[in-house]
Each structure stands twice: as structure tokens, then as C-alpha cells.
Amino acid sequence: MQQPLVARIFANQQVILFLVFAAMVAFFTSQNSIFFSTGVFGNVLLDWGPVVLVAVGETFVVISGGIDLSVGSTVGLAGVIGAFAMRNLTTGGHGEALTLLLGTLVCVGVGAAVGIVNALLINKARLVPFIATLATLGAGAGLTIVMTNGAPIAGGPPTAITLSNNWIGPLSKPIVIVIVLVVICGLFLHTARFGRYTFAIGSNPFAARAAGISVPWHLTKIYVLSGALSGLAGMFFYLRLGSGAPTSGAGLELDAIAAVVIGGASLAGGVGRLSGTVLGALILTTVTSGLIIIGVAPNWKKVVVAILIAAAVSTQALRTSRGSA
């Protein structure tokens, strides 16, 4: 017997997430009307940008049945190395546009290199993804501190930070680029062969091998993608801060995993939608800004995030049990 339309709508994870987001906006606006303003939405989106970049890469990894704990330290490492490169280019008299372009490529390249290391540890050293990426997390964080002595790296293009100013309404130029990249990744995940292979490996890697999929090679591409997007997030932080901060990605791996889980992806692999991850990341950043605006200590964000994760996992378990029944 077919479920009523209303029941089917509310069984959709994305609908639930959108309603949660709308309820948060309504609540924070009722507590302080300034929340419903272009300036605040612009700041929320600037907070959302690096989180969603890292979370998109994490979505591919989780759907494939793995996990990437190194994304936070990769953000800091890439941002710092990119900052060093841009400082040298600026000192050498290169133009700002060329400097920013090359700095972005350096950040993405550093992230991709970390992804290759993760893939080698998983495919060649036979480490489980949790241990492999935990090792690179520690190595990346330590290397970043060693290179900078804990101090931010400035001296790049002086107007780089102005790119984060609002351009069209609450949208800045970096946010527009992030949105375009998210859409492209969504198309790859849900309409292209790359996405089908990712879901197949996460659902049953043995069946995927039997179907002719080169699982190690595909996992390598997934971890490189995750690292490259994390490197790009490092560049995003550089544009916001005007310098490469060694701690810019601290704890970002937890936010990324939370966004993926809240968005409906299963940590067992084979299940997930990028639209859910996008909404999950938006909910996380809205919570942070909203709590600050209404005068609540931002540390309460961790409590709210824990509740959201528990609710998301419980919803998945309930849906699975109903499906089995």
C-alpha cells in the first residue's frame, strides 16, 4: 500500500533538513531581528564555504565506505604553504591576479598530495582508512606548526582579503565559485560513472571488483579529490584572513563528518546525497552565527551539533528498520 504524499515528503531527509534550517532561521530572527539581514547571511555563507568544500570531499569518501580524518590538518597545511608561495611571488613583483591563481594551484596541489599519501597507505600499506588518515592528520598538523612556529604567514597580495566582501547580495566571489564547484561535484556523484562506481564500492567492494571496477584506483581518485577540496578550503581561509593560519583547519574534520552524517549519508558506505551534505553544512554554520548573535556562548554549538548527529543517525536507523519490516 502506497504511503500518503505528506508522509512520503516528510520521510525525505532533505525536506527534514530544510525545515530544520528554516526553523533555526525563524528562531534566531525572533530572538534578534538583525539575524535576518544580508550582512549576517553573508557571514554565514563565508563560514559555510570552507566547511562545505571539505564536507563534499568527505561525502565521496564516506559513500565509498571510508573516512578521511586528515582534512582539517590538510586545510591548515595547504593554506600555509600557499601563503609562503604567495608571499614569495608578491616579493618578486608578480601581479596580484597571477599570484592568487598560482597560490590557489599550490593549495590544491598540496591537498592532492596528501590525498595520494592517504591512498598509498590504504591501498599499499593495507591500513584501514581511519588509521591511515589519522596518521596524516597528526603529520600534517605537526608539519604546519614546525613550518610556521605557530604564527600566521602574511605578506601576500594586500587586496586578497577584499575578495570576501559581499558582491551580489550576501554572495561574495569566493562563495560563487564554491557553489559552482559543489554543483559540479553533485553532478559527478549522482549522474556520472564516477559516482556510480563510488556507490558501488561503498555498497559492496567485492561485487564492485567482480563487476570490473578497479577499486584501489577509484579510491585513490576519491582521496585525491577530498584532499584537493581541503586544499582549496585552505585558500578560502587565506582570502578571509589575509594570511595563512596554521590552525585554520583545526577541528574542521569533525564539522565535515557531522555535515555528512546530518545530511543523511551512512558511515557504513553506499548511501548519501550531496544536497543533504550542503544543507547539513549550512545548518552547522547557521547554529554558530545564530548563537553568537543571540548572546549564547558559541561553545554550545558542540551540544547542538551532538543532538543533530544523534537525531540524524536515529532517523537513519528508524528508516532502515522500517524498510526491513
Cβ-in-10-Å burial (0-12, 13-18, 19+) of 68 comes to buried
pLDDT, tens digit, 9 for 90 and up, residues 13-39 = 788 888 888 998 999 999 999 998 998
Cell of 278: 550542503
Per cent of the chain over pLDDT 90 is 70
Q: What is the pLDDT of residue 14?
A: 82
pLDDT of residue 8: 64
Per-residue pLDDT of 89-123, as tens digits, reads 999 988 999 999 999 999 999 999 999 999 999 99
User: Quick one: pLDDT at residue 214?
Assistant: 96
pLDDT of residue 234: 96
Q: What is the pLDDT of residue 296?
A: 82
Distance CA 280, CA 259 (A): 4
Which pLDDT score, from 0 to 100, does residue 3 have? 59
Which residue has cell 570552507?
A: 50
Cα 139 from Cα 145, distance rounded (Å): 10
Cβ(288)–Cβ(282) under 8 Å? no
Helix (H, G, I), strand (E, B) or coil at 46: helix
Going by pLDDT thresholds of 50, 70 and 90, the confidence category of residue 304 is confident
What's the pLDDT at 20?
85
280, 201 in Cβ contact below 8 A? no
Q: Please, is 99 exposed, middle or buried when counting C-beta atoms within 10 Å of its C-beta (0-12, 13-18, 19+)?
A: buried
In 3-state terms, what secondary structure has residue 244? strand
Give me the pLDDT at residue 5, please. 59
Average pLDDT, the chain: 90
Q: How confident is the model at residue 314 (pLDDT cuts 50, 70, 90)?
A: confident
| pLDDT tens column, 204-256 | 999 999 999 999 999 999 999 999 999 999 999 999 998 999 999 988 999 99
pLDDT of residue 139: 96
Q: Is the pLDDT of residue 321 over 60?
A: no
Q: Which residues contact 251 (CB under 8 A, 6 or more apart)?
A: 72
CB-based contacts of 172: which residues, under 8 Å, 6+ apart?
A: 42, 45, 46, 163, 164, 165, 166
Domain coordinates in residue numbering, the chain:
47-251
Kindly state the cell numbers that stand for 214.
Answer: 578497479
Q: Residue 324: pLDDT band by 50, 70, 90 thresholds?
A: low
Q: Which three cell numbers stand for residue 180?
A: 559552482
Confidence bin at 322 (pLDDT 50/70/90) = low
- What is the reported pLDDT for 169? 86
pLDDT value at position 309? 78
Place of cell 525525505: 12
CA distances 253 to 34, 71, 89, 117, Å, are 30, 6, 30, 17
Residue pair 240/31 in contact by the 8 Å Cβ criterion: no
DSSP class of 67 = -
Model confidence pLDDT, tens digit, residues 183-207: 999 999 999 999 999 999 999 999 9
Q: Residue 303: what pLDDT?
A: 83
pLDDT of residue 73: 96
Model confidence over 130-176: pLDDT tens digits? 999 999 999 999 999 999 998 999 989 988 888 888 888 889 999 99
Hey, how many other C-beta atoms are within 10 angstroms of the C-beta on 13? 21
